[in-house]
Amino acid sequence: MTSASPDLFRSAMSRYASGVTVVSTVHDDLDHAMTASAFTSVSLDPPLVLVCVDKTARFHQAIAVTRRWGVSVLAEDQADVARWLATRGRKLEGQLDHIPHRPGALTGSALVEGALCWVECRTWEMYDGGDHTIVVGQVLGIELPEKERSRPLMYFRAAYGGAPDVTNGPD
């Protein structure tokens, strides 16, 4: 066993496949959005989810102030959206101009069209997580698309890709 240097830790964690989301909020009349793979459910009663946000990201300040946010769970054909919103230093104004989206009914946060589902949240609590903040959100509302899309966008070994087709179950 080797001690957990930052590079070794990053390499090990890249071997854990995860889904990909876009987390968004509105602050000072501007849409703020980021790609997040560190997103998960926490509790059924009350319904809670969490997302981990880098403390140096401008999104961190926005979500800390607004305390209302939306999550779009991306489909496998939305890798370009994920890549774009993971790009550090992109211009904040107009960052969503080429991404089909709409404001969430409960938070006003940008929800990416074509996603597998959408979740709107109010911050329940924020916890220190080293160089990230763990933001736990109480789910205010959930929306599922009329036409179900079965394949999520996945993140594995620092690359985006689709999940295997499991709609028919194992052979």
pTM: 0.91
Sign, CA dihedral 47-50-21-154, equals: negative
What are 162's two structure tokens?
A: 């689709």
Q: Where are the alpha helices (DSSP H) in the chain?
A: 6-13, 58-66, 79-85
Torsion, Cα 30 40 153 163, to 10 degrees, reads 180
Domains and CATH numbers, the chain: 19-159 (2.30.110.10)
Q: Which residues pair with 43 in a beta bridge?
A: 48
> pLDDT tens digits for the chain (171 residues)?
888 888 888 888 888 889 999 999 999 999 999 999 999 999 999 999 999 999 999 999 999 999 999 999 999 999 999 999 999 999 999 999 999 999 999 999 999 999 999 999 999 999 999 999 999 999 999 999 988 777 899 998 888 888 766 555 444
